[in-house]
Amino acid sequence: MTWKADDFNNGVSPKGKRLLTFKKNFFLNWQLYVFLLPALTYFLILHYVPMYGVQIAFKNFIANQGILGSPWVGFDHFERFFDSYYFWRLLKNTLIINLYQLALFPLPIIFALMLNEVRNGLFKKWSQTLTYAPHFISVVVVVGMIVAFLDPATGLINHIIVALGGEPISFMTSPDWFRHIYVWSGEWQSLGWGTIIYLAALAGVNPELHEAAKVDGATRMQRILHINIPSILPTVVILFILNIGKFMSIGFEKVLLMKNSLNSETSDIIQTFVYETGLLEGQYSFAAAIGLFDSAINIFLLIMVNQIARKTSENSLW
């Protein structure tokens, strides 16, 4: 560590000077820190304090003995999960659904670029409202709609199939259809909401760039490719990294509502298994170990993708 002459003269180390600077900024801008306090409190209480209980993944948790009093078993629960016959099926189903969803990551970007080119204000607002609305529908209602539309006897989709000369399809009991229904219904529900941040980024593009490109004879597609997309690329990279950070975290509520004994071949995923094992069967330590394994993969992927993004571009989370 190097010291400056001023540090010796003032008798304060660089670390001390940084502390003094922070105190000065804190008292000058204390209102901003007050606004930050609720968010910090939320993460502290609901995200960091519960990490204390992660240790039960390495213990045989017994409720009447508490977390500290329960016997230590090390990695036994992890070994039990890895050696189980259902491990590979759970991992495969979770990975396939997540890769399927990740493949559709560009759809909100494409939709935002399309909306940005619409010049009819009324049509643009109507399109945005129509695509934003599904985001506010609860998962239970969405699954109820799916079941109603895809019912083999009374569903609208099967009525259309029969009218076209086909045979009714039992979509909800078919393992082959489960992933498609789950992913595309989720995309329908989140597509419009996912475009908001991209539209905001597109609104910040300098109009003079488009004017200059028009003068040079650039077509609309060329302006999209060479002006709009590079302008929102930092936003795209950051959101992609955040998506990778929750790669293994499929919301179990929708899967749980859609799964049944006939489609379990493709609907069994790690999250539903954690729910069934931990809450329904009371194997808290085993479920905590599986959940910790899931989170460890997410953390690894987040760090790896962030490092790749930092080396290949100027955009990263840290």
Q: φ and ψ at 210, to 5 degrees?
A: -70, -40
Q: Do 82 and 229 fall into the same domain? A: yes
Residue 63 belongs to some domain of the structure = no
Q: Do 43 and 158 fall into the same domain? A: no
Q: What pLDDT was estimated at residue 121?
A: 84
Q: Do 150 and 267 fall into the same domain? A: yes
Q: Do 189 and 235 fall into the same domain? A: yes
- The pair of three-digit structure tokens given for residue 298, joined into one six-digit string: 């997410």
CATH of the domain at 125: 1.10.3720.10
Beta bridge partners of 59: 72
Residue 317 belongs to some domain of the structure = no
Q: Do 306 and 180 fall into the same domain? A: yes
In three-state secondary structure terms, 47 is helix
Other CB atoms within a 10 A radius of the CB of residue 293 amount to: 19
Q: Do 12 and 126 fall into the same domain? A: no
What percentage of the chain carries pLDDT values higher than 90?
A: 64
pTM, rounded to two decimals: 0.84
User: Interior CA angle at 107 toward 267 and 206, to 5°?
Assistant: 150
Residue 230 belongs to some domain of the structure = yes
Sign of CA dihedral 280, 283, 287, 288: positive
Q: Do 37 and 122 fall into the same domain? A: no
Q: Do 15 and 132 fall into the same domain? A: no
Q: Do 111 and 29 fall into the same domain? A: no
Inter-axis angle of helices 229-245 and 196-203, nearest 10? 150
Summarised one tens digit per residue, pLDDT across range 185-222 is 999 999 999 999 999 999 989 889 989 999 989 998 99
Q: What pLDDT was estimated at residue 12?
A: 60
Other CB atoms within a 10 A radius of the CB of residue 134 amount to: 19
Residue 92 belongs to some domain of the structure = yes
Q: How many Å from the N-terminal Cα to the C-terminal Cα in the chain?
A: 24
Question: How many domains would you assign to the chain?
Answer: 2
Q: Do 83 and 23 fall into the same domain? A: no
Q: What pLDDT was estimated at residue 10?
A: 54
Q: Which of 158, 180, 156, 154 is nearest to 169 (CA)?
A: 158
Residue 100 belongs to some domain of the structure = yes
Residue 69 belongs to some domain of the structure = no
Summarised one tens digit per residue, pLDDT across range 248-291 is 888 788 999 999 989 999 999 999 999 999 989 989 999 999 99
Mean pLDDT of 121-128: 88
Summarised one tens digit per residue, pLDDT across range 10-52 is 556 677 777 888 788 888 888 888 999 999 999 999 989 988 8
Q: Do 83 and 54 fall into the same domain? A: no
Q: 148 to each of 155, 172, 182, 213, how far by Cα in Å?
A: 6, 10, 15, 50
Burial class, 219, CB count within 10 angstroms (exposed 0-12 / middle 13-18 / buried 19+): exposed
Q: Left if phi > 0, otherwise alpha if psi is -120 to 50, otherwise beta: which for 74?
A: left
**CA–CA separation, 42 and 168 (whole Å):** 49
Summarised one tens digit per residue, pLDDT across range 56-98 is 999 999 888 888 889 999 999 999 999 998 999 999 999 999 9
DSSP state of 63: G
Residue 65 belongs to some domain of the structure = no
Q: Do 120 and 13 fall into the same domain? A: no
Q: Please determine, for residue 245, whether its predicted confidence score (pLDDT) is greater than 60.
A: yes
Range of the domain at 41: 5-58
Residue 70 belongs to some domain of the structure = no
